[in-house]
A and B are shown apart, each in its own frame.
Chain A
Amino acid sequence: MEAKAQKIVKSSRMRNVASKLVSNKAALLGLAIIVIIILLCALAPLMTPYNPTKPDFSAQVQPPGGAHPFGTDKLGRDILARVLYGGRVSILIGLSGAVGGMLLGVIIGSLCGYFRGWLDAVFVKVAELVSIFPQILLVLVLVTILQQSMYNLIMIFIATGWVATFRMVRGRFFSLREESFVEACRVFGLGDLSIAFRHILPNCLGPVIVQLTLNTAGFILQEAALSFIGLGVPSGTPTWGNIMNAAKEIVSINQYPWVWLAPGLAIALFVLGVNFFGDGLRDALDPKQI
């Protein structure tokens, strides 16, 4: 009975958010792009008969068309297959890095913003340290210690990505905890954790979601950059960055543009979709916007 009443309230809020989202064309377009790219990557074996890692020396650097709609690279691997399989890894890295960073940032930010005191002082210093430490150095150090791997990359993204969310959540908490509705919760005798996470936190979700989308996009770009210089995911695994890595020489840039154009476009398109959707979601989550 109780759960049902709760559900009615919640579902009406979700419906409200959804209806606002549907009326926002840019957000819908963004969502469509994200869903299509993710579906294509997830269903890669159905989309292409080729193995993305198996060289085929009979079909080196073929231009797009015919059996290879996006062409092949120098080892004769099908570019479409590589972009689709690579997308799985790139998107996984971007999303899990961003989600992990968000969770960490939200939890630490909420606790610091609500309780303040020494806890807050410590984490503010830690956040400062993380943000001034050159990320590339961190990558180099970790690669030296732990070797290159997808999981290490995700760990690095989480370790550096929580800071922005942390600062934002903490800042919002500082102003929100002075609001009368928070004092009202305390007068009702509600517990601190319940006030922090169930009453204050939902008021910060709009910017957090936007940060999540920005981070997802940013991490996909960073993965591409790190893999491009050979510090990201080991080159055996195709990712959008690794595919472009293969096009480092000037000869590929000039003469085989399809080798780097396809993954480049995939990155651009996906990042664009994520940003569109994030903006729309922020507006939809704000109950004040009609």
Chain B
Amino acid sequence: MGNEILLELKNIRKYFPVEEGMFRRTVGTVKAVDDVSLFVRRGETLGLVGESGCGKTTLGKIIVRLHKPTQGQLNYRLDDGGFKDLLSLDKQESFHAHRRIQMVFQDPYSSLNPVKTILSAFDEPMRVHGMASAKERKQRTADLLEAVNLRSEYMYRYPHEFSGGQLQRISIARALCIKPDLVVCDEPVSALDVSIQAQVLNLMKELQRRMNLTYVFIAHDLSVVEYMSNRIAVMYLGKIVELAGSGDLYSRYRHPYTRALLSAVPIPEIGAKKSRVVLEGDVPSPINPPEGCRFHTRCSFSQARCAQEEPPLRPYAEHEDHWVACHFAETLHQADDWVIQQP
């Protein structure tokens, strides 16, 4: 894995208007993603983790341009080494850029068109992106199905003939049919049974190695994200609160929300008694997020400053790849009750 940056998000904002009544009067805005900047290195897996409504799926859909951000830049490394903002491309360039970034969706049952065979689901994207003859496209479909451990004859079947795990493997193969560089995976295993999840996760790791893929891996399950990712961004109410290498995040978390999230994950092992940090209350509404630090309403370390001043996402001293958005990141972890005892 090199250090080359493949994709860079700059100050991405996505506000959805909240409309009401007959005349669709705008009564407020949901700040689904609010000023997010991050980068993805070629060949790595960047994990995006957070609870429902934190904006991780919206961010993923912005990267694949299913949503147009209200503001911000989506800079992508071109073959000549330069960057280009994917949001300011003309129609032709924009179409070609779709080949580079693909997506795997959460629900395997709705990811494939029920009235089309697997072959035709693979065939069309390859055809519109000008790849190969019909014979070669068919060969590639067969190869991809075999790459995800399915028989190539399955290409003549319809989606309803497969199980959830098989469908998710087919969806992954389909996303790869036009040879993308970057794949955004939105909760790819959360709809699957536990015994099937591991199959899919390992397969994704293997494909990444073989095809030199870059992943943005979105999930709510911190243990799955940790297993898959090199770096993890923790999101809360549309903002990134902490971004660190996955080992660092686990052992040297600096944000109180990360700490609560880590301690809330049930661990299938028994041993030392684990102290659980239980957060008070619910996630506030993203329509009117709290002033200052968005987490201050549920944070047990909250100070007066937290309610007024919004903490920026800044590098944390020890490590260049560790970023945190907390005023007190340097001092908090010295508090007596900071450490979560893990088994």
Stretch in A187-195, A216-224, A227-235 touching the partner: A187-195
B126-143, CB < 8 A from A: 127-129, 133-135, 137-138
Distance, CA A240 to CA B220, complexed state (A): 66
**A5 near B113 (CB under 8 angstroms)?**
no
A53-77, CB < 8 A from B: none
Cβ of B259 within 8 Å of any chain A Cβ, yes or no, is: no
B123: chain A residues within 8 A (beta carbon): 5-6, 9
Distance, CA A13 to CA B117, complexed state (A): 9
B61: chain A residues within 8 A (beta carbon): 183
Q: A180-B110, A181-B111 are in contact. Are A189 and B127 (CB under 8 A)?
A: no
Residue of chain B at shortest CB distance from A182: B113
Cβ of A184 within 8 Å of any chain B Cβ, yes or no, is: yes
| B117: contacting residue among A12, A179, A181, CB under 8 A | A12
Cβ of B120 within 8 Å of any chain A Cβ, yes or no, is: yes
| A1: contacting residue among B66, B113, B119, B135, CB under 8 A | B135
Q: A1-B134, A4-B134, A188-B128 are in contact. Are A181 and B112 (CB under 8 A)?
A: yes
**A2 near B133 (CB under 8 angstroms)?**
yes
A190: chain B residues within 8 A (beta carbon): 124-125, 128
**A180 near B114 (CB under 8 angstroms)?**
no
Cβ of A287 within 8 Å of any chain B Cβ, yes or no, is: yes
Query: What distance in Å separates the Cβ of B66 from its nearest Cβ neighbour in chain A?
Result: 6
Q: A181-B110, A181-B111, A287-B115 are in contact. Are A188 and B178 (CB under 8 A)?
A: yes
**A187 near B119 (CB under 8 angstroms)?**
no
B138: chain A residues within 8 A (beta carbon): 5
Query: What distance in Å separates the Cβ of A216 from its nearest Cβ neighbour in chain B?
Result: 24
**A189 near B160 (CB under 8 angstroms)?**
no
A189: chain B residues within 8 A (beta carbon): 94-99, 128-129
Cβ of B174 within 8 Å of any chain A Cβ, yes or no, is: yes
Q: A199-B113, A203-B113 are in contact. Are A183 and B105 (CB under 8 A)?
A: yes
Distance, CA A203 to CA B110, complexed state (A): 12
Residue of chain A at shortest CB distance from B120: A9
Residue of chain B at shortest CB distance from A16: B158
Cβ of B107 within 8 Å of any chain A Cβ, yes or no, is: yes
**A183 near B66 (CB under 8 angstroms)?**
yes
Q: A9-B119, A12-B156, A180-B111 are in contact. Are A187 and B134 (CB under 8 A)?
A: no
Query: What distance in Å separates the Cβ of A98 from its nearest Cβ neighbour in chain B?
Result: 23
Question: Main secondary structure on chain A at its contact with chain B?
Answer: helix
**B133 near A1 (CB under 8 angstroms)?**
yes
A9: chain B residues within 8 A (beta carbon): 117, 119-120, 123, 156
A181: chain B residues within 8 A (beta carbon): 110-114, 121
Distance, CA A199 to CA B133, complexed state (A): 22
**A180 near B105 (CB under 8 angstroms)?**
yes
Q: A9-B120, A203-B115, A287-B160 are in contact. Are A183 and B135 (CB under 8 A)?
A: no
Query: What distance in Å separates the Cβ of B47 from its nearest Cβ neighbour in chain A?
Result: 20
Query: What distance in Å separates the Cβ of A176 from its nearest Cβ neighbour in chain B?
Result: 9
Query: What distance in Å separates the Cβ of A175 from its nearest Cβ neighbour in chain B?
Result: 10
**A288 near B114 (CB under 8 angstroms)?**
yes
**A184 near B105 (CB under 8 angstroms)?**
yes
Distance, CA A12 to CA B116, complexed state (A): 11
Distance, CA A181 to CA B110, complexed state (A): 6
Distance, CA A109 to CA B316, complexed state (A): 55
A287: chain B residues within 8 A (beta carbon): 114-115, 158, 160
Residue of chain A at shortest CB distance from B161: A287
| B103: contacting residue among A179, A184, A203, CB under 8 A | A184
A188: chain B residues within 8 A (beta carbon): 98, 102, 124-125, 128-129, 178
Cβ of A202 within 8 Å of any chain B Cβ, yes or no, is: yes
B86-110, CB < 8 A from A: 94-99, 101-103, 105-107, 110
Query: What distance in Å separates the Cβ of B126 from its nearest Cβ neighbour in chain A?
Result: 9
B115: chain A residues within 8 A (beta carbon): 13, 202-203, 205, 287
Cβ of A186 within 8 Å of any chain B Cβ, yes or no, is: yes
**A187 near B98 (CB under 8 angstroms)?**
yes
Distance, CA A9 to CA B156, complexed state (A): 7
Distance, CA A288 to CA B95, complexed state (A): 33
Residue of chain B at shortest CB distance from A287: B158
Distance, CA A13 to CA B156, complexed state (A): 10
Residue of chain A at shortest CB distance from B121: A181
A26-52, CB < 8 A from B: none
Query: What distance in Å separates the Cβ of B112 from its nearest Cβ neighbour in chain A?
Result: 6
A-B residue pairs in contact (CB < 8 Å), sample of 6: A5-B123, A13-B115, A180-B106, A180-B111, A184-B103, A188-B98
Q: Which 5 A-B pairs have the closest CB atoms?
A: A189-B98, A180-B105, A5-B134, A2-B134, A188-B125
Residues of A at the B interface (CB closer than 8 Å) are 1-2, 4-6, 9, 12-13, 179-181, 183-184, 186-190, 199, 202-203, 205, 287-288
Residues of B at the A interface (CB closer than 8 Å) are 61, 64-66, 94-99, 101-103, 105-107, 110-117, 119-121, 123-125, 127-129, 133-135, 137-138, 156, 158, 160, 171, 174-175, 178
